[in-house]
Structure formats: structure tokens, C-alpha cells
Structure 1
């Protein structure tokens, strides 16, 4: 008798197949990935979508230039690429001032900066002060720097000022005030530059004017003391008088010689002799006035010439110093700086910060990159141990 075999045709029961039930997909994610990637991304989603307060950005553009200065040429731009850029220290000085403590002090005189940067109802991580910050002046300055950004375009020479605030009007007001402070700084720089340029020229002019005044006073004192306006003119007049007297003496001698030849015993001869002696005495007196003793015109004329020459030199120095002042003023005007507004401070109508989805994606990508690097390091260490 043969045994009969029963063959089962059908699906194999699950219990006989020894198949394990596959876990859900979220259970297959490594715990490290959840901690390194999932948790930071979740926190970023919660913060940026539910907690982060919107911030409004007011923007303005300006340029700092000298009189007659144009925008950089293509050669200038090429030179900037190799580090030989034109001098832009004036624009950078304005940038540094806008973000400086002096600018914050000036701003605090017009606005309650702490209230503007930290109004009620804003999130603790965006406002001032943040949970780990104090309320000191130094903390306010650091918080102020978070809300103010100044950039510079080396190609166009245009600077951009961006100010963030939690209200549109506050952002525009702060931008306008900071830009006005930059304009005041440029004006002070112009005043100081002009003062430094003109100070030496004006001092030289005042010294030349003082020397001219001293020379004129000495010349006036000489005229008052000697009671003569111009010794040269007086000497010329005396010489003219002597010339006239000599001519008269010559005429008298000619007449006497004629009378003596016609009538040797004429009674007119003593008269002629008397007149000739009188004229000769007058000629001698006039000659003594011109040259002779210390009271003559010759030493006075020498002193007068020295004084007149000193006055002439002082006058020339004053003329040159005045021309130097005019030249310095023109140079100061040529070097004067201007802060021109290219774009006035804007009034934002919608918040520009924070960029929520960009920030979330940045957190996710950074976390994913950190997890990938960590996993590669862990895999390499484990493989090294197995070898």
C-alpha cells in the first residue's frame, strides 16, 4: 500500500516565509540625521514662519566727489583690479562716520534709538536688546551696527546706505538723519581743509601788511621830523634855483664887463659887484643845503631812499601775499568735497527682512552639509578600524 502525498498549491503563509515587516519610512531615518538636520530645520521653520518679526529697509544712494570730478574711467576701473585704485578715502570716511559712536550720539539727540530698535511686540532675537545683551551704551552701539549697512561700488563710486527698522517711518527717519550727518561731516572736512590751505597764505599776507605799515610809519616819522616831504624833490628844486642864480650871475658879469670896457670909472661897477657877490653868496648857501654838513639834503636823501625802498619791497610782498591768498582760495574751492544724493531715502511699503524661505533653506542646506561631512568622517573611521 502506497502512501499518498498531498501537495498544497497556493500562497505561502506569511508565518512560514519568515518575512519581517518593513518599518515606516520615518523610522528608517537615522537618529543623527534627525538631530543634525531635522531639528535645526524645524527650529528655523518655527522661528522664521511663526516668531520672526518683519523688518522694513530704507535705502539711499549717494556719491562723495570733489568739484569737477567725474566717474572712474575704464582705465581707472582696470587699475582698481590690480590694487592701484584712485583715492576714495573721503567716501570711506563718511562710511566710518555713519556707523560710528559719534553718529549714534548725534542720532540719539533727535530720536529714542533704543525704542526704535526694540519696540514692544517684536521677537527677542531680532530686536535690541537680545536676551544675552545689556542696555549699556556699548551694547546699544553694537545693536545699532546690526541695523545699519553701508556699501561701496568701486566701479561707479556710488555708496549705498541701508537701514532696517520695525516700522517704515522709523527706517526712513534714521536713514535721513544718518545721511544728513554724513553731509555735515563733509562740510566740516571742507572747512578744515580750506582753513589749513588758507591759514599759511593769510598769515604771510598779514605779516607783509604789518611790514608795509611799519615802513609807512617810519617814512611818515622821517617826514615829520625833517619837515620835508621828499628830499629828492627838494634837492631838484634847489638845483634848479642854483642854476637860475648861476645864469643871473653870468648875465651880471657880462653886463659889468661891457660897462667896464666902455666906462672903466662908471659908478655902476660897484653896484654890479655887489649884486654878483649877493648871488654868489645865495648860490653857496643853496649848495650847502644840498650837500655839506649833517643838516644838508644828502644824508636825508640817503635815509629817505632806504625808507622808500623798504616800503616798496613791503608793498611788493603784500601784493604777492594777496595773490597767494587768492590762489589758495581757488585751490580750496577746487578741492571742495560734495555729498550728492543719487537716490533719496525711501519709504518702504512692505518688509524686506527677514527673507524667511531663503533663511530656512540656508539652515537646511548647512545642516545637511554638516551631516554629510560627519557621516563621511564616521564611515572612514569605522572602515579603518575594520581593516
Structure 2
């Protein structure tokens, strides 16, 4: 009779099964996935959740406009959209200043930048200068660019300044320093434009006044030399005198003709003839003074008219220069730029950066994209080899 063997059938150990399943699952995960996806996401999670220093954001809004500047119309906005600049681009000069080294120097005059963004307040990846960078102004400039942003809205003409710092008061101080520097820049631009335009106008006015003074002096010298106040008036008076003399001669001749007809032997005829000859001599003398010689009034009148014309042109030039100067001053007042703060930089209450969960998800998305792209390339290479 054979021996009977009794086998005990018992349930497997659940703990051992789970551990084996987890180990099997880990073995099934490709090493490339661990290196490309899991490790970067874990590192990003460790940094953003445990190490990253919170950053406070101070926001300010401002516009740069002139006294006669108007808001762009819908047509102007449409033209801006196709690359035609509008009238609100004066703010770009302030933007360039904020993003420049001069803007950093303005901040350094108001606050210790190396302390604000230095190792004492920022984590190892956020500090300025960076870990392997030298302590220099250039590295400080490149590092602070990460925490300062200025943008422009073409539809409203409003510029937005966002400054990040590791303490709320530091963010407010840096924003205030940049806005103060922008206002100083606008004032310098206004002063330079006004000085150039007004200085040119004043120089033109001075030249025109000198020209008027020269013309007036030449005219005065002519009058003193020739002893004439106005040669034209003298010539007019001389012409009237000649006309009166000729009228008198004509009257005497008519009277003589009448006497000769009535009494041909009258002794009055010789008297009248003498008077006629005297008047004719006086007419010739008066005509000689008006024209006919170097000392006559004709060349003097010509010189006088030339001098008077020069004086008139100089006076008109002075009037035009004076009007141009006043117009330049008024135009400068109308086109004078102003930086107007719409929203002053206030002290933030809570940190807005970094966005920890969003940053981790962004690292995950990038890692998955890189891994998926690499897997597709590897799969394509395998298929090409098999074929």
C-alpha cells in the first residue's frame, strides 16, 4: 500500500507578491525614461518645493506722452498692427533706459543691488551674480535682467514695469529707482530739445537785429552826409516847384501875347520878357538839381531807396525770426514729454514667484517632450535597420 502524501495548499504571501510586482515594474521602466524624465522632475520638485526663495513682485504702470498728444484711434491701432509705428513710441526710450546699464547704475545709487540679489537673500540658483560668474558690473547687469521686465500695450499706450526681489521692500525700492531715472531721462530729453530749438531761434534773432542795426546805421550816415531826411520828399517838393514855375511861365506868356496884340510898343513887354527868362532859368536850375548831374537827386534817391530797401528787408527778417522763436517755444511746450505714473509701485503683500507647481509641470512637459522625441527617433532607426 503506497504512502499517502498530503500537500498543504496555502495562499501566497501578499507582501512578497507586492514587492515582486513593484520590482518587476521598476525593471520594466526604461533607464532612459528615468534619466530624461524622472530625475529632472524630482530635481525640479526638490528645488522649487524646498530650496527656491520666494520672490515678491512690485508692479507699476506709466505713460510717456506730450501735452498735445492724443490717444491712438482704431485706425492708428490697426496701422500699428501692420508695422507702422504710432505716436506712443516715446515710451520706448524709457524702456531702453530701464533695460540699460544706466538704469542699473540708477538702482545702485538708491539701494545696494549686490545685497538685494546676493547670496544672503537668494538661493544658490537665483543669486546674482551666478555661481560660476565673477563679481563684476557686467555679471551684475546680466543677472539683474532676470528680475526686471518692462512691457508696452500698443492699444492703450500704457507701459508696465514689473520688478522681482526677495523682499517686498526691495522690490518697491528698485521699481521706484527705475521710475525716477526714467523721469530724469525724459526731463533731459526735454531740456536738450528746448535748448537746441530755442538756441537756434535766438541766434537767428540776434543776427536779424544786427542786420537791422547795420542797415539803420548806413541810412543814418547817408542822411548826415547828404543832409537829407528823405530825398524822395525833397524830389517831390522839387517837382512841385518846377510845375508851379512852368505854370507861372505859361501865365506870363499868355499875358505877354495879349499885351503884344493890343499894344505892340508897350514897355511892359520887356518887363514880362525878363520875368519869363528869370522863371525859365529857375526851372532849368531846379531840373538840374533833380536830375542830370552827379550832385543831382536822382543818384541820391537811388542810393537812399537801396538803403531803405535793405532796412525794410532786415526789419522783415527780424519780425520773421522773432515769430519763429515764439513758435518754437510754443511748439516745445506742446511737444514736451511727460512721464505720468498711473500706478505707483506698492509694497507687495505676498510672493508671486516662483510658481512652484507650474514650474514643476513645465519641467515635466519638457522632459516628456524630449523623451518622446528621442523614442520616436530611436524607433525609426530600429525600423530602418530591420528593413
TM-score band w.r.t. shorter chain:
0.7 to 0.9
1:219 CA drift (Å)? 0.9
- Matched residue of 1:63: which SS? strand
Q: Does 1:366 align with 2:363?
A: no
Secondary structure of residue in 2 paired with 1:38 = helix
CA contact (8 A) 2:66 2:335 kept: yes
- Deviations for 1:250-297, whole angstroms, at most 9, x for unmatched residues? 889969x98x97x9679xx98x99888777666655444333432232
Tell me the equivalent position of 1:216.
216
> 2: distance between equivalents of 1:107 and 1:352?
22
Structure-1 separation of matches of 2:328 and 2:121: 58
TM-superposed deviation, 1:183? 2.4
Instruction: Measure the CA separation in 2 of the matches of 1:204 and 1:357.
Output: 67
Native 8 Å contact 1:119 1:166 kept in 2? no
**Deviation readout 1:142-194 (Å, 9 max, x if unpaired):** 12212211112222222111111222222212212212222232333344445
Measured in 2, the distance between the counterparts of 1:28 and 1:189 equals 69
- 2:230 maps to 230
Superposition deviation, residue 340 in structure 1: 2.5
Aligned to 1:301: 301
Distance 1:384 1:192, change over 3 A: same
Per-residue CA deviations over 1:292-318 (Å, capped at 9, x if unaligned) read 432232221121111112222232333
Aligned-CA RMSD value: 4.0
TM-score (norm 1): 0.79
Residue 127 (structure 1) aligns with: 127
Counterpart in the other structure of 2:75: 75
- Which residues of structure 1 form unaligned runs of 5+? none
Task: Give the whole-Å Cα distance in 2 for the aligned partners of 1:291 and 1:364.
Answer: 108
Query: Which structure 2 segments of 5+ residues have no match?
Result: none
Distance in 2, matches of 1:208 and 1:14, equals 114
Match of 1:63 in 2: 63
Greater CA drift, 348-357 or 192-201: 192-201
> Bigger shift: 275-284 or 227-236?
275-284
Distance verdict in 2 for CA 1:378–1:274, change over 3 Å: closer
Whole-angstrom distance in 2 between the partners of 1:328 and 1:112: 43
Residues 234 and 119 of structure 1, relative CA distance in 2, 3 Å threshold: farther
